[in-house]
Structure 1
Amino acid sequence: MELIGVEVQGFRRFKDSTSVRLLENSIALIGQNESGKTSFLDALEELNSEDEILDQNQTRRVDVTTRIEATFSLEDEDYEALKPVENSGNIKKCTFTKVENGFVTARLQPGLSHNLEPRKEVKSKLEEFFESPVFNRKTNSRISSNLKELSDKLGSNNDYLGDQTINFIQENSNRLEKILENLDSEEFDADLVKQVIESLEELATHERNSQPEQARKILLQRRPIFLSFSENDRDLKSKYDLSNAVPNPPSALSNLAELASLDLQELKEATESGTVHLANDLTDEASKELEGAFSKSWVRTDVVPLLDIDGTILHINVLTPDDQNRAPIHQRSDGLRWFVALVAFLNQKDAGENPVLLVDEAERHLSYDAQAELVEVLETQTVAQKVIYTTHSAGCLPSDLGRGIRPVIQKRGERSDIRNGFWVDEPGFKPIMVAMGLNPLAFTVARNSLIAEGPCETILLPTLIRQATEKSELKYQIAPGAANVGEKRITELLSEAGRSVILLDSDSGGRENRDDLVDAGANPQKIKTYCDFSDELLVLEDLVDLQKYVEAVNNELNEWQDPDAELNTDDFVEKNRVQVVEDWCQTKGVDAPSKVNVAQRLVKMASEGQRIIDPRKEVVLCRIDDWATSHFVTPSDSQ
């Protein structure tokens, strides 16, 4: 199952309910120090156990229930495990909730039905029994009280009575059996007692087989775990002196040795006794183990670590690009070193299926270049289903700034909130930097930026351009807020030495905004609308394949509102797709999905290998890329 959302309430700084969408594979929590980034990661780890949530982790001085929820969408493997459960294919999502006492429960969405008629029938039979002579004369006060209590419990409409109530049914049946054994059938209605006993036995069996409860139990057992990848776990060195490192090796080395099935104590003893051939045999066998493990993790031969021993020094190397020599792992890249440590860590932790990786202060002790390598690893790794990391470094942000950024905002009274987007009315990168407590101008000037209309472009346009141009990365980043640049900021953003261009919609508002900015002194070559690259009056959504757009809208509606919603491509005219969706939703009585959420959904589809671009619009996107790139200084240009 895949994590798609989290809600936290009453945990440390998060007093009020804080709901976070997590569709991306890599999510960066940004914010100033002490804003609550680490607290959010700690809240997720709480879901791994049923230990009580400690008092110090509950929000202080408030009467709020502490609650942590994680919502997952089901995948093929989950449906396979659910096969014994009738109608389990209808389940789309499962939410796991932990409260203060530590109990973790599961909620199915949509829920499965459970036949309540047997309860009603037994309750009716008990009511009949209560009027009988045998009940009034042969049951003591305890038995009669228990039977009446049971009758009240059977009035529940819950899809599962609970283990205690089911056991209570069985206990009452057993007591009636004893009464029946000593009952004078000529004086009392023994058949009625038998009927009550049989109905109780059948009800206990029926309730134990509750299909919703069976599904919940299966999914609770399958819920992914949240793993914290600490600094010690990821600090893998290129070499270790076994004389000092063993018998208490650092976490990163210990994890790698376990993955390689290497006994570090045995290797140390072999080196110290001068048994060179044994030491070499041990490292050779360990390298073979690593080769097998890494071939399953990432299909790239250049990331397989190789172990060499020289005296008591254990070297961790990789092959050079020409496969002719070995080089210390740190010389290749910090991102590679980080990934090797990650694979070893997940193996050592028995991570199960599809773990969620948590990384606090991912940028710690890494240069800006190394942070960029790290981001690439986080965005391309496949050993964890998702990575959620914290950072307050501009160098550790996602490659597409519109995706995967969640600002953690400090509020009054030592409280915090998490937003699902950083977009406000300020143009460019300033909103991100304000959230991180960094200098906005220094950040903006240092980056090539295409400032587009709003957050949807920031999320979706980079993916569309990459699919159209077949480029693995762009020479610029896309920021929102073009409609709000205004005359005051235009000189700063579009100066001759600046690194920004502006792209506006082709509608009347976009064209008017362009004219106003040009009148304010902006270089017209640095401000374009979509119609400058096409004969059509386009907006962002027109660049997406219609079938994929409809699929994204339906998925968004199905997952968060109406499981049966089904918009069709036939409902659309050639233009104004957003308005068509809004009108259709109004007729169906549901809220239209936000443009931002649909954009996030489309990018997720693209990350899974789907082509979301309208083939007829490829040339438009290529022209936009050519125009933007022509105005930016690349590292090669400045040499």
Structure 2
Amino acid sequence: MKLKKVEILKYKSFSTTQTFQVEDDITILVGMNESGKTSALEAMGKTNYFQEDEEFKFNLTHDYPRREKKAIDKAQTIPDAIVTTYEIDDELVEKIEKQLGAGIISNRIFSITTTYDNKSKYAINFDSRKFIDFKTKALGIASAALTEKLKVVNSVEKLNELIGTYSDEKYTQGLKTLEKYYSNAWKWPDAIDEYIVRTFLVPNIPKYLYYDEYYALPSRISIEKLEAGELNDNEFKTAKALFELADINTEEILKADSFEDFIAELEATEAIISDELFKYWQTNTNLNIDFQIDKIASKDQYGNTQIVEHVLDIRVKSKGVSLSLKNRSKGFNWFFSFLVWFKKIQEDKDSKYILLLDEPGLNLHASAQADLLKFLADLSANYQIIYTTHSPFMISSENLNRVRTVLETDSGSQISDSIQEKDPNTLFPLQAALGYDIAQNLYVSKKNLLVEGVSDLIILTAMSSILEAEKRTYLRSDVTIVPTGGLEKVATFISLLRGSSLETVCLLDSYTDPKGKAKMDSLIAEKIIHGKKVRFFHDFLDTHDKADLEDIFTKNDYLKLFNAAYTEYTDISEAALNPAINQIIIQINQHLSIPRFNHYRPANQLTKMAVDASFFDPQTLENFEKVFQEINSLFD
């Protein structure tokens, strides 16, 4: 089961409803300090926390938006806090329908509204008639009249009343076997819906685990205070998790004279954690955790020595030097403590978990944060992860679709997709992440022409040089061609690169994906980019309503490049192509019966052949000149 959408209704800084989609692997909440990122994680965690914890229960006094608290008190109602939407997975659907009938799960999407008294309201859409048909047929007592009567049964009592109307044992005994489906413990209008939710959905709804830097292990743990629950709340939770992982009873330590067995158990646990830790902690791999249990003694008023406290001392050794855990880097402490906390839920094989990480790796160096990203990517194969950050090094420019921005406004915290965000401070980590990635691959100038990929960059650069040699119009020299890595990323690039110091023009293949077009239309509507600054290749071809860059060549010219690049195929002639199709790429794919060929190879062939203008049909040169004339004018 996957979390698909979150709708925060009223919670702390969220005074207006905020909705965001959740990715199947990793979702990132980016925003400034105090923007509401932590509150969003808390609200999710309080819907189904993995253990009993008063800190993760909704509290009307502490959690409801303060400016509206008086009004809700006067209304004397219990308000809703948050709506979480889930999708039932194939395995669970199969399990339900095997017992209750095929087709009963008519809609896999369902939502849970959690209220401030920590109760849940379910919005579902199941077809209980399918259950009736399935069960009565299986019992050999199906009839239209019985189906109609069962439709209004919503309790065991009602079922027994119905059974009482029959004298035939086939009916009475058969219907009696349906009793468990109508127990309706929660008194819902539809007993079958209630049975499905209570029996199948609730046990499979993912539990939430929240973690932030305050859960770090202390260097010295008083076992007496741990036993009495007197440690700092979050330290206590992590310290307790360590002892539970090592399967050590703290009462036994307090009674023991020797601690060797306990230390052996702790070290065995540490070895398991370290194996995973050092897969990703590359900063210093020469570290070892050392556990010591000390007795702290004092003399009483009669001079007698007595043990007043037992302390677990956690130390980290490096090259023969031992330091207490708190004196190692905060980053290492975070990583080690998180794995202790995380291992606690890994032992639970019967539940699904969603990890809520607040500013993970905040104290890690940039390169260590890159290692942490790899760690989270690996975890996301088995867990959905939602984390907050304002570090550009915790954002992968290859996965900007994962980002949701959080902004504090006069009307409360707001959550939106990254391409919709306009606040420069909120966008800064995204711009920095994108800029860092771009800086490693190409320069960005004040004038940028966004294209889809590297093959576009090669072709446009080569054809511009050929036209320049012919003293014809070519692409102006102060324009940098920026490949975005795909048509679907263009809108994100425009959004993140916008600014008064940058000029941006797009030169794109025709859209085939409605989502990409919708994103671009939204940017134009919001005046993030002017519609005239977005040009498509079909704009330069009177004969095409859809076109790619390759269509700017005449078909014969492009086939010369293609045939030279793909010597493994028999040369393709223009006559061999389907004349009913305009786009050369689709024509070639169809001719070869392949889904797609590598566009880079013909583009690269253009540079390898070192051709001049004589290689091309005059129409090709005219088409490219027309493109460059238009693009140059858009930068004037």
TM-score range, shorter chain: 0.5 to 0.7
* Cα offset, 1:29, TM superposition: 1.2
* Cα offset, 1:194, TM superposition: 5.5
Q: In the alignment, what sits opposite 2:598?
A: 616
Q: Any conservation in 2 of the 1:228–1:358 contact (CA below 8 Å)?
A: yes
Does 2:99 match 1:84?
A: yes
Distance 1:384 1:486, change over 3 A: closer
- Rounded Cα–Cα distance in structure 1 between residues aligned with 2:180 and 2:15: 38
Distance 1:308 1:203, change over 3 A: same
Q: Any conservation in 2 of the 1:408–1:418 contact (CA below 8 Å)?
A: yes
Q: In the alignment, what sits opposite 1:115?
A: 132
Q: Any conservation in 2 of the 1:534–1:620 contact (CA below 8 Å)?
A: no
Q: In the alignment, what sits opposite 2:425?
A: 434
Give CA deviations for 1:174-203 in whole Å, capped at 9, x if unaligned: 9x7xxxxxxxxxxxxxxxx65599978866
- Rounded Cα–Cα distance in structure 2 between residues aligned with 1:475 and 1:284: 54
Distance 1:284 1:301, change over 3 A: farther
Q: How does 1:396-475 map to 2 (within 5 A)?
A: 396-400=394-398, 402-414=400-412, 416-419=413-416, 421-424=417-420, 431=422, 433-435=424-426, 448=438
Secondary structure (helix, strand or coil) at the match of 1:308 reads: strand
Match of 1:345 among 341, 347, 369: 341
Match of 1:220 among 186, 202, 207: 202
- Rounded Cα–Cα distance in structure 1 between residues aligned with 2:379 and 2:550: 38
Q: How does 1:366-381 map to 2 (within 5 A)?
A: 366=364, 368=366, 370-381=368-379
| Cα-Cα RMSD | 6.1
Give CA deviations for 1:551-597 in whole Å, capped at 9, x if unaligned: xxxxxxxxxxxxxxxxxxxxx9796999xxxxxxxxxxxxxxxxxxx
Q: In the alignment, what sits opposite 2:266?
A: 286
- Rounded Cα–Cα distance in structure 1 between residues aligned with 2:146 and 2:335: 60
Secondary structure (helix, strand or coil) at the match of 2:598 reads: helix
Distance 1:259 1:577, change over 3 A: farther
* Cα offset, 1:206, TM superposition: 4.2
Q: Which moved more, 1:325-334 or 1:283-292?
A: 325-334
Give CA deviations for 1:138-195 in whole Å, capped at 9, x if unaligned: xxxxxxxxxxxxxxxx775xxxx54xx333443x579x7xxxxxxxxxxxxxxxx655
Does 2:251 match 1:261?
A: no
Give CA deviations for 1:599-635 in whole Å, capped at 9, x if unaligned: xxxxxxxxxxxxxx96624659999xxxxxxxxxxxx
Letter in 1 for 2:247: S
* Cα offset, 1:406, TM superposition: 0.8
Q: In the alignment, what sits opposite 2:354?
A: 356
- Rounded Cα–Cα distance in structure 1 between residues aligned with 2:223 and 2:118: 44
* Cα offset, 1:25, TM superposition: 2.0
Letter in 1 for 2:266: A
- Rounded Cα–Cα distance in structure 1 between residues aligned with 2:291 and 2:44: 40
Give CA deviations for 1:397-437 in whole Å, capped at 9, x if unaligned: 345361321112445433x3322x2114xxxxx9474336x
Secondary structure (helix, strand or coil) at the match of 2:131 reads: coil
- Rounded Cα–Cα distance in structure 2 between residues aligned with 1:534 and 1:287: 67
- Identity value in percent: 17
Q: In the alignment, what sits opposite 1:55?
A: 60
Distance 1:200 1:54, change over 3 A: farther
* Cα offset, 1:288, TM superposition: 2.9
- Rounded Cα–Cα distance in structure 1 between residues aligned with 2:4 and 2:393: 26
Q: Any conservation in 2 of the 1:434–1:440 contact (CA below 8 Å)?
A: no
Secondary structure (helix, strand or coil) at the match of 2:132 reads: coil
Letter in 2 for 1:48: N
Q: In the alignment, what sits opposite 1:35?
A: 35
* Cα offset, 1:227, TM superposition: 1.4
Q: Any conservation in 1 of the 2:316–2:328 contact (CA below 8 Å)?
A: no
Q: Any conservation in 1 of the 2:85–2:109 contact (CA below 8 Å)?
A: yes
* Cα offset, 1:356, TM superposition: 0.5
Q: In the alignment, what sits opposite 2:634?
A: none
Distance 1:363 1:535, change over 3 A: farther
- Rounded Cα–Cα distance in structure 1 between residues aligned with 2:90 and 2:498: 53
* Cα offset, 1:293, TM superposition: 6.6
- Rounded Cα–Cα distance in structure 1 between residues aligned with 2:399 and 2:410: 28
- Rounded Cα–Cα distance in structure 1 between residues aligned with 2:418 and 2:107: 29
Q: In the alignment, what sits opposite 1:391?
A: 389
Q: In the alignment, what sits opposite 2:608?
A: none
Structure 2 alignment gaps of length 5 or more:
137-141, 183-191, 295-311, 455-482, 512-519, 521-529, 536-546, 556-579, 587-594, 606-636
Letter in 1 for 2:45: E
Q: In the alignment, what sits opposite 1:524?
A: none
- Rounded Cα–Cα distance in structure 1 between residues aligned with 2:92 and 2:364: 38
What TM-score results when the alignment is normalised by the length of structure 2? 0.52
Q: Which moved more, 1:505-514 or 1:345-354?
A: 505-514
* Cα offset, 1:224, TM superposition: 1.0
Q: Any conservation in 2 of the 1:119–1:203 contact (CA below 8 Å)?
A: no
* Cα offset, 1:339, TM superposition: 4.2
- Rounded Cα–Cα distance in structure 2 between residues aligned with 1:167 and 1:382: 47
- Rounded Cα–Cα distance in structure 1 between residues aligned with 2:6 and 2:245: 32
Give CA deviations for 1:440-489 in whole Å, capped at 9, x if unaligned: 9888876645789xxxx99x989xxxxxxxxxxx9999885666899984
Secondary structure (helix, strand or coil) at the match of 2:425 reads: helix
Q: How does 1:456-535 map to 2 (within 5 A)?
A: 480=491, 489=500, 492-493=501-502, 504-506=507-509, 531=549
Q: In the alignment, what sits opposite 2:564?
A: none
* Cα offset, 1:289, TM superposition: 3.9
Distance 1:73 1:507, change over 3 A: closer
* Cα offset, 1:514, TM superposition: 9.5
Q: Any conservation in 2 of the 1:504–1:530 contact (CA below 8 Å)?
A: no
Does 2:259 match 1:252?
A: no
Does 2:83 match 1:69?
A: yes
Letter in 2 for 1:434: N
- Rounded Cα–Cα distance in structure 1 between residues aligned with 2:181 and 2:581: 50
- Rounded Cα–Cα distance in structure 1 between residues aligned with 2:510 and 2:287: 55
Distance 1:286 1:348, change over 3 A: same
- Rounded Cα–Cα distance in structure 1 between residues aligned with 2:499 and 2:269: 61
What TM-score results when the alignment is normalised by the length of structure 1? 0.52
Secondary structure (helix, strand or coil) at the match of 1:435 reads: helix
* Cα offset, 1:30, TM superposition: 2.1
* Cα offset, 1:291, TM superposition: 4.0
* Cα offset, 1:225, TM superposition: 0.4
Letter in 1 for 2:82: I
Secondary structure (helix, strand or coil) at the match of 1:616 reads: coil
- Rounded Cα–Cα distance in structure 1 between residues aligned with 2:280 and 2:495: 45
* Cα offset, 1:534, TM superposition: 11
Letter in 2 for 1:104: S
Q: Any conservation in 1 of the 2:280–2:375 contact (CA below 8 Å)?
A: no
Match of 2:290 among 308, 322, 327: 308
- Rounded Cα–Cα distance in structure 2 between residues aligned with 1:260 and 1:512: 65
Secondary structure (helix, strand or coil) at the match of 2:376 reads: helix
Secondary structure (helix, strand or coil) at the match of 1:115 reads: helix
* Cα offset, 1:99, TM superposition: 4.0
- Rounded Cα–Cα distance in structure 2 between residues aligned with 1:475 and 1:123: 59
Give CA deviations for 1:293-315 in whole Å, capped at 9, x if unaligned: 77699978999995424674744
Aligned length: 449
Q: In the alignment, what sits opposite 2:120?
A: 104
Secondary structure (helix, strand or coil) at the match of 1:341 reads: helix
* Cα offset, 1:22, TM superposition: 1.1
Structure 1 alignment gaps of length 5 or more:
126-153, 177-192, 425-429, 463-473, 495-500, 516-528, 538-571, 579-612, 624-639
Letter in 2 for 1:283: I
Q: Any conservation in 1 of the 2:390–2:429 contact (CA below 8 Å)?
A: no
- Rounded Cα–Cα distance in structure 1 between residues aligned with 2:337 and 2:502: 41
